[in-house]
Amino acid sequence: MGKEKVIVSACLLGEKCRYDGATKKDDGVLAFLADKEVVPFCPEAPVLGTPRGRISIIATEDHGLRVKKDADGTDVTDVLVEQTETLIKAHPDATKIILKSKSPSCGIGTTPILDEAGNEIAKGNGVAADLLLYAFPDIDISDENTF
């Protein structure tokens, strides 16, 4: 049997790809991955740059959940979806996924969902997490607190 192949939010691995240029390196995740094949994944940095302004998930009246820049409301949903779909196509044989909690891209049930006035109305999935959960229904997908 081959090695387990784990897709992991790149900021958990020590990459400085967060919006503020920081990392969220997680020693527990790194220790778990020691004997596994790791696929780093960050949907935001390649298309939005680092550092970058904050983005949030907005429950819009007309278009459902969209990811928008806090600063000027630019809708960045489609580029994040593209990044995630490219990953899914490249790694259909992934055996596990570990994502960063609370992120508008990577959070699983922990991401603030805002109304159009910027008030939190619920917690939900980030846009990438949502696509990954749909694409990989049979493997464990969790975050750095639950893997």
143 belongs to the binding site for ligand SF4 (CB under 6 A): no
Q: Which stretch binds ligand SF4 (CB under 6 A): 63-71, 89-97, 100-108, 130-138?
A: 100-108
118 — alpha (psi -120 to 50), left (phi > 0) or beta? left
125 belongs to the binding site for ligand SF4 (CB under 6 A): no
Residue 62 or 70: the one with the smaller Cβ distance to ligand SF4 is 70
Residue 123 burial (CB count, 10 A): 14
68 and 36 in contact (C-beta within 8 Å)? Answer: no
Candidate list 77, 83, 84, 105; residue touching ligand SF4; CB under 6 A: 105
DSSP type of residue 75: B
Distance CA 69, CA 57 (A): 9
Candidate list 6, 7, 9, 130; residue touching ligand SF4; CB under 6 A: 9
Can you give the binding site for ligand SF4, defined by CB under 6 A?
9-11, 17-18, 42-45, 100, 103, 105-106
